[in-house]
Amino acid sequence: MEFTDLTIEKIHYSLLKKEFSVSELTKYYLEKIKKEDKEIFAFITLDEKGSLILAKKLDEKISKGQKINLLTGIPCAIKDNILVQDIKCTAGSKILQNYFPPYDATVVKKLKEEGVIILGKTNLDEFAMGSSTEYSYFGSTKNPLDKKLTPGGSSGGSAAAVAAGFCVFSLGSDTGGSIRQPAAFCGIVGLKPSYGAISRYGLIAFASSLDQIGPMAKTVKDVNIVFESIVGSDKFDSTSVDIPKNNRKIKIKETKIGIPKDYFIKKIDAKIERAVKKAIKRYEDMGAKIEEISLPYTEYALPCYYIIAPAEASSNLARYDGIKYGWCEKTEVDLLNFYLKNRGKGFGPEVRRRIMLGTFTLSSGYFEAYYQRAQKVKKLITEDFKKAFDRVDFIITPTTPTPPFKLGEKIQDPVLMYLSDIFTVAVNLAGLPAISIPVEKKQPLSFQIIGPLFSDFSLIEMAKIYEA
Partner 1 sequence: MKKNISSYNKIEKRTVEHLAKLCRLELSETEILNYQNDLSKILEYIDKLKEIDISNVRTSFDFGRNKNIKRRDEFVDTKGSLDIPEKIIKLMPETKDGYLKVKKII
- Asked if 303 interacts with partner 1 (CB under 8 A), we say yes
Q: Of the ranges 112-120, 139-147, 167-175, 296-304, which one interacts with partner 1 (CB under 8 A)?
A: 296-304
Q: Of the ranges 172-180, 348-356, 437-445, 456-464, which one interacts with partner 1 (CB under 8 A)?
A: 348-356
Q: Minimum distance from CB of 182 to partner 1 (Å)? A: 23
- Asked if 112 interacts with partner 1 (CB under 8 A), we say no
Residue 181's alpha-carbon distances to 165, 259, 466, in angstroms, are 19, 19, 19
- On whether the CB atoms of residues 442 and 145 are closer than 8 A, the answer is yes
- Asked if 373 interacts with partner 1 (CB under 8 A), we say yes
Please, what's the largest Cα pairwise distance for the chain? Answer: 72
Indicate which single residue of 52, 321, 402, 464 sits in contact with partner 1 (rule: CB under 8 A). Answer: 321
Q: Minimum distance from CB of 328 to partner 1 (Å)? A: 5
Nearer to partner 1, 14 or 382 (CB): 382
Q: Of the ranges 133-141, 282-290, 332-340, 399-407, which one interacts with partner 1 (CB under 8 A)?
A: 332-340
- Asked if 97 interacts with partner 1 (CB under 8 A), we say no
Q: Is 35 a catalytic residue?
A: no
Selecting among 21, 79, 132, 378, the annotated active-site residue is 79
- Asked if 367 interacts with partner 1 (CB under 8 A), we say no
177-206: contacts with partner 1 (CB under 8 A)? 195-196
- β-strands 213-217, 394-398 pairing: unpaired
Closest to 124 (Cα-Cα) out of 102, 91, 164: 91
Rg (alpha carbons) of the chain, rounded to whole number: 21
Closest to 258 (Cα-Cα) out of 297, 298, 293, 286: 293
In degrees, rounded to 5, the angle at the alpha carbon of residue 423 between the alpha carbons of residues 418 and 427 is 105
Q: Omega into 154 within 30° of 0, i.e. cis?
A: yes
How far is the C-alpha of 162 from the C-alpha of 286, rounded, in Å? Answer: 30
How far is the C-alpha of 356 from the C-alpha of 373, rounded, in Å? Answer: 19
Selecting among 173, 178, 436, 458, the annotated active-site residue is 178
Indicate which single residue of 25, 91, 191, 304 sits in contact with partner 1 (rule: CB under 8 A). Answer: 304
For residue 169, the cross-strand partners are: 76, 217
Q: Of the ranges 184-192, 219-227, 271-279, 359-367, which one interacts with partner 1 (CB under 8 A)?
A: 359-367
Q: Strand locations in 242-343, DSSP E? A: 256-260, 289-293
- Asked if 344 interacts with partner 1 (CB under 8 A), we say yes
Q: Backbone phi, then psi, for 87, in 5-degree steps?
A: -110, 130
Selecting among 23, 51, 136, 154, the annotated active-site residue is 154
377 in helix, strand or coil?
Answer: helix
How far is the C-alpha of 206 from the C-alpha of 174, rounded, in Å? Answer: 10
Catalytic positions, written as ranges: 79, 154, 178
Q: Which residues bind partner 1 (CB under 8 A)?
A: 86, 99-100, 102-103, 195-196, 209, 235, 238, 241, 297, 299-300, 303-304, 306-307, 314, 321-326, 328, 330, 334-341, 343-345, 347, 349, 352-353, 355-357, 359-361, 363, 369-370, 372-380, 382, 414-415, 418, 430-431, 453
